[in-house]
Amino acid sequence: MAKRTAQKREDRRVSAPRQEDSFISSRERKLATASPSGGGRDACATTTFGRPDLLILLGLAIVTFGIYAQVIGHHFISFDDPTYIQENPMVNRGVTLAGLAWAFTTFYAGNWHPLTWIAHMIDSQLFGTVAGGHLLVNALIHAANTLLVFWFLFRTTHARWSSALVAALFALHPLHVESVAWASERKDTLSTFFGLLSLIAYVRYAEAPSIRRYAWTAIMLALGLLAKPMLVTWPFVMLLLDYWPLGRSCSHGPVARRNRDAPQGRGYSAFAVAQTWRGLAVEKIPLFALVAASAVVTSVAQSHLGAVRTFTQFPITPRLSNVLVSYAKYLLLAFWPNDLAVFYPFPKAGIPPWQIIGATLLLIAITAFCFFQRKLRPYLIVGWLWFLGTLVPVIGLVQVGAQTMADRYFYIPSIGLFIALVFGLADIAERRRVAPWLSAAIANVVLLVLATLTDAQIHRWHDSITLFKHALTVAPSNVIAEDNLGLAMHKSGQLDEAATHFEKALQIQPNDYTALLTMGVTRFYQGRVPEAIEYAQATIRSEPDAPKAHNLLGMALAKQNRNEAALDEVRRASELAPKDAEIRNNLGLALVRLGRIPEAIDQFNEAVRLDPNNAAAAHANLGWALLQSAKPRESIPEFEAALHLNPEFKAAANGLRQAQAQLSPQR
């Protein structure tokens, strides 16, 4: 009897209303923190959006877009942007039937994300190759994602201010700049957009299950996977939501209802809960099949490029060590977002043992704390497992590329971490009866600091030179940063400075393909042809089937009037990359030097067909070839097309004048 009385007192103590604070009211707290063993039905109740909520949405949209609007004046980055957008003829042509078919069938750049390719095509249709337009759309999608985070959390937890704070943290955290200010990372923002829509659709399904609502959940998830396979963990996230805040793991199902109505009391047996979890897992089998298919296709795409590092290349021990330390570093950067870089290389000396031990103990301690608090504060275990689980595809268990971690990988996992943090602090503030104005002031100061750091980080993404110079100050001995800084300087005409960075890259990694090739290109444009030949040959020794290296060697040999050898090299490059318009153009030039004009005309025509939006040189060369073939009338449209693409193209203007002069006596 005494035991029952004590239990009743405990029940009253836990459920007793408390005063409202700045984060969450007592009613919101009761709903949002409802234990999985009760209150689940309330958590699923439909939320009505009133004027305060609309004002919150408006404020989040204005602040998010306001801080990211500066990307309109930014430039493309030399890392991935040329491959994805600028030099990708299927993308920069805009939306075409051939492009749509290509998007669904290509493993280009080691990816299969057709929806992302289509999004880039739409941007190219609207903005051409003006980076600001592409980045503006990215900023708009990020703002939309922020609103969806608030909508999703408020709908499920009814905690207005906690949901708003999670959304604000998502909007303004500096680690998210990479996903927004980098045009190539459209896949991050776009997949998250559809991923959040799928969660909202799932909440509606949980409220009133039906085939139609389940289908919408699956469709939104499929669209997210078509943008980026990061959402392969989404069915597991839905299972977490079943635990909290939806409470489906215990409040639904015939076994749970029988247990609840049984005379032995308020609790649920372990058997009943297990039966309920089994049913929830079976319910998601179609979603698991969907993500499994996406994972298989992604694995094939990445293996096709050779991006996945084998266990021989990167053994299991350092791989697991990096996993543990990376988790800890993401946590550190979440609270102290300092020294952010576009690329974090593996340390040459390996990861220090103290970091591995410290990271392991930290992760175990946090996991244990959240687990033991799961009944009283279920949002902790849900948020923490969201963070841990959604990082699994990119944490390094399957190592793709040479980075230890990346800021962009934090985009989706951060939502779970912010949920655990914000709802936990709201609970503390309520229990300690913190004054509402003080809680609001602290939250606003934190957001102001994050906004300031985010603004500074966005500035660093203005152009490649600014970005990679900063990366080298944060993470020195960085081959990727040296290569890309060299590329950016090469494109801006700073050839000597570019060569310096390529030399540094080769000191770090002597067989670095990018450094060898771009050093050869730099020497070629500096007029140091013998050195260009040496670097091209070294690149071919490093990667025998590198088309750009054979192309460079052919161009350099042509400078020495070794035209037959030059033709052989450029032809080999064309065989290795038959859809490369630039190589086709160079093959035409090699044929012209040998007097094989009809064959050259065929190659110039093919170059124009392959990449019509970047074919000024090919049009001009085709015009000159036609002019040499005594076809001035046919050459004029080619010169005009070249000038349309590049009004300052002097060679095209000279050719047009000569063609018109040859025709003038006939008029």
Give the separation between CA 253 and CA 279, rounded to whole angstroms.
Answer: 8
Domain-wise residue ranges, the chain: 49-460, 468-578
The pair of structure tokens assigned to 86 is 């600028």
More confident residue, 288 or 24: 288
pLDDT at 489: 94
pLDDT at 346: 81
Reported as a single tens digit per residue, the pLDDT across 156-192 is 999 999 999 999 999 999 999 999 999 999 999 999 9
Q: Is the dihedral of CA 199, 201, 205, 208 positive or negative?
A: positive
Please state, for a pLDDT cut of 70, what percent of the chain lies above it.
86
Please state, for a pLDDT cut of 90, what percent of the chain lies above it.
70
Of 4-8, 32-36, 653-657, the range with the highest mean pLDDT is 653-657
Does the pLDDT value for residue 612 go beyond 90? no
**pLDDT band at 154, cuts 50/70/90?**
very high
Torsion angles phi and psi, residue 400, rounded to 5: -115, 120
* Residues 224-236 as b or e (16 or more Cβ within 10 Å = b): bbbbbbbbbbbbb
pLDDT at 270: 57
Does the pLDDT value for residue 395 go beyond 80? yes
CA 520, 526, 531: angle at the middle one, nearest 5?
A: 40
The pair of structure tokens assigned to 422 is 């914000």
Give the separation between CA 590 and CA 598, rounded to whole angstroms.
Answer: 12
- Using alpha carbons, select from 623, 614, 552 the residue that is nearest to residue 581: 614
The pair of structure tokens assigned to 618 is 């090919």
Q: Is the dihedral of CA 89, 93, 94, 99 positive or negative?
A: negative
Does the pLDDT value for residue 6 go beyond 50? no
More confident residue, 572 or 475: 572
Residue 445, CA distances (Å) to 17, 159, 332, 360, 452 in order:
29, 21, 19, 32, 11
Reported as a single tens digit per residue, the pLDDT across 91-127 is 988 999 999 999 999 999 888 999 999 999 999 999 9
Find the mean pLDDT for residues 343-370. Answer: 92
The chain-wide mean pLDDT, for the chain, equals: 87
Does the pLDDT value for residue 36 go beyond 60? no
Give the end-to-end CA distance of the chain in Å, rounded to a whole number. Answer: 116
pLDDT at 70: 96
Give the separation between CA 153 and CA 244, rounded to whole angstroms.
Answer: 11
Does the pLDDT value for residue 76 go beyond 90? yes
Does the pLDDT value for residue 25 go beyond 90? no
Give the separation between CA 316 and CA 148, rounded to whole angstroms.
Answer: 38
Give the separation between CA 296 and CA 234, rounded to whole angstroms.
Answer: 16
Decide: 29 and 42 in contact? Cβ < 8 Å: no
81-85, 401-405, 458-462, range with the lowest pLDDT = 401-405
186-200, 262-276, 371-385, 627-641, range with the lowest pLDDT = 262-276
Give the separation between CA 552 and CA 556, rounded to whole angstroms.
Answer: 6
Residue with tokens 């994300």: 113
What is the number of other CB atoms lying within 10 angstroms of the CB of residue 174? Answer: 24
What is the number of other CB atoms lying within 10 angstroms of the CB of residue 179? Answer: 24
Superfamily of domain 468-578: Tetratricopeptide repeat domain (1.25.40.10)
Residue with tokens 């980098």: 182
Find the mean pLDDT for residues 194-219. Answer: 96
